A and B are shown apart, each in its own frame.
Chain A
Amino acid sequence: MILQTALLAVLVALSVLAIALKDLLRSAIALALASLVLGIVFFRMGAPYAGVFEISVVAGLITVLFILTIALTKSGDEVRESKLANIVFPVVFVAFLAIDALVMKRLMGKVPALARGGEAGTFGEVLWKGRTLDLVGQIAVILAGVFAVLALFRQRDKHE
């Protein structure tokens, strides 16, 4: 459990880095690393498929997309980030962490839940017997994404 906690802490740290780092490329890499750590966490939670997906798709595919975009948009002025926010927000974040910890401590065991029996079978069975509609949704969402990208990068005839 300690390792898991440590991994999670690293995950949070990397995420904060991904946001806080000035250089976009580094941010993207930090994000990829965070995804990697999250994937490992998933593995350790007993969810290998999720872990694989997290690592391959998020840490891989999305990072590639990010880097591609960064490369495509790199010329021109840098965006100047707010200095005030750079000082204030870390403080707020730390404060939130403290509050978060306190709340979780007090909340512990308080969220009511029904005890239900666990599930049986393999991931495939659960997916096919239980969540097939999600697969339809996935297909639809992928279609949507593809068409969206196609639409956004289409050659405009002429727009008045």
Chain B
Amino acid sequence: MIILFVVLPLVVAGLLPLAGKASKRLLPDLLANATLLFLVAYAAVAGRALIADGPVLQQTTWLGEALGIRLVLDGFSLFMLVVVALVGLAASLFSIDYMEHYGAKGNFYALYLVMIAGMNGLVLASDLFAVYVFLEVAAVASYALVAYGLGRDELEAAFKYLMLSVVASAFLVGGIAVVYGMTGGLDFAAVAMALKELNAGPALAVASALFLLGFGLKAALIPFHAWLPDAHPSAPAPISAVLSGLLIKVSGVYALTRVFLNVFGLTPALSTVLLWLGAVSAVAAAFLALGQKDIKRMLAYSSISQVGYVVLAIGVGTPLGIAGGLFHLFNHALAKGLLFLTSGSVQRATGTRDLDAMGGLAKRMPVTAATNLVGALSIAGVPPLNGFWSKLIIIVALVQAGHPVFAAVAVLASVLTLWYYLLMQRKAFFGRLNETWAAVREAPFWMTASTVLLALLCVGIGILFASTVTTWVRPAADVLADGIHAVAGSWGF
């Protein structure tokens, strides 16, 4: 019953406004977190068993009649489901305390769950248009969530985000239409097989570019990134965490890789383009992050940079590169989620996001500082944390595939990453306590609990990287490395 991944959050979302009427805080908190906990358990525990014998293809039947709901769960989608559920759970735990002041918790969780449902749907969808639909589901929810604070900046950011991504989705639909026109189908399997038969040529190049715009904007690859540094910092912290940790990965990286690797097949041309996009994003965004004074804006640029890293790795196209990219996606989701959450703790405690105004907060907020440090070092690729292993695999893959220059770029990006994270550490946590914050208190229980959870995951995966890679990353990478065969051969309904 993998449709539960979509339906359950939706149903709970529908119920939440009612629940919110009954109880303003407790019930929404309980319902939302229970849902996500269930999703975590379902994905992490049952998921492995489900796909033990290859991908699960499920067509929902209702009243004995087959419906047009065809969901596919394979290694890659399961991997993404786990990521979504994990980070989603952490963010929703964080929201218990954090969203107190925003009011209308029921409404918040409803939007939140719709977004989760959208992402899950996208991951499980098996045709191009459904991907678009669920991408929009998550997007619409995210627009509202970005603007949830209703402040001036939030609105500005949400509006620009909306206006840019609507254009991109329009082009995406255009791309889908072109592919549909060429192949006559929308199913991944059908499209993949048809494209194999068809020597598409320039038309496919245009379609690819349209898809790249559509997904690339969601993934915030340079030059489609401009909305992200506005939108992610403006959102409430748990939403920032989910946007940076999940949304850009699911509706950006996942969709992109699924389409390009499994459906279109990674041609050398596409590979080169992805390498360049990834490299440019990784470096330029790292430089941009370096110049930020706003802690969350810095993190946002860092997300662009790291997604660039992921795309760079996937662009290599070798099994090792894909594995590295996916592992990095996973690690970045955890670490960036963690960082945004801690930035939320700091913002909540001090009321500011300006790094220059902070200072020495480690003294007053030791747990937040420690978890933030773990996240920062993890993303910067400092061992023994998880981010190190993924970056290592990526660089190894780049060198092995004969791209030493891109590997050097990756190394450079890594150094830049550490540079700005050290800047952040220095200005916010490390250093002498700014007297203004002498009375600041550590974040409340659920906030620290969720950051500690993510930090422990970062450390734990760093230490147990081997089993993580074999259990979760390799099956996902295998699907992608199979190229169109993974879809074309076995996904017939």
Contact = CB atoms under 8 A, between A and B. Distances in A.
A and B touch in the complex (CB under 8 A): yes
Interface of A: 110-116, 127-134, 136-141, 143-145, 147-152, 154-160
B176 interface: no
B118 interface: yes
Given A116-B183, A136-B10, A159-B102, 5 more contacts: A112-B182, A129-B66, A141-B140, A154-B104, A156-B103
Contact of A160 (B14, B101, B129, B150): B101
Contact of B14 (A131, A138, A143): A143
Contacts of A131: 68, 129
A85 to B, nearest CB: 17
Contact of A137 (B121, B151, B200): B121
A127 B68 contact: yes
A145 B143 CA distance: 10
B70 interface: yes
Contacts of B111: 144, 147-148, 151
A156 B150 contact: yes
B13 interface: yes
Which of B107, B145, B183 has the most chain A CB atoms closer than 10 A to its own CB? B107
B365 interface: no
B248 interface: no
Given A114-B194, A151-B108, A154-B107, A160 B182 contact: no
A160 B353 CA distance: 13
Contact of B137 (A137, A150, A152): A137
Nearest to A129: B68
Interface residues of B, number: 58
B81 interface: no
B141 A111 contact: no
26 contacts: A112-B198, A114-B182, A116-B184, A127-B68, A128-B67, A129-B68, A131-B129, A133-B125, A134-B129, A137-B121, A137-B134, A138-B133, A140-B10, A141-B133, A143-B14, A144-B115, A145-B140, A147-B110, A150-B107, A151-B148, A152-B144, A152-B147, A154-B103, A156-B150, A157-B101, A159-B151
Q: Is the interface of A mostly helix, strand, loop or mixed?
A: helix
A143 B114 contact: yes
A116 B203 CA distance: 18
Contact of A159 (B68, B70, B145, B149): B149
Interface string B101-144: 11110011011001101100100010101100110110011011
A40 B1 CA distance: 42
8 closest residue pairs by CB, A with B: A148-B144, A137-B133, A116-B184, A132-B68, A144-B140, A157-B103, A132-B67, A140-B137
Nearest to B129: A134
B492 interface: no
B398 to A, nearest CB: 34
Nearest to B207: A111
Contacts of A128: 67-68
Contact of A132 (B69, B117, B144, B200): B69
B10 A143 contact: yes
A112 B148 contact: no
Contact of B144 (A116, A140, A144): A144
B197 A140 contact: no
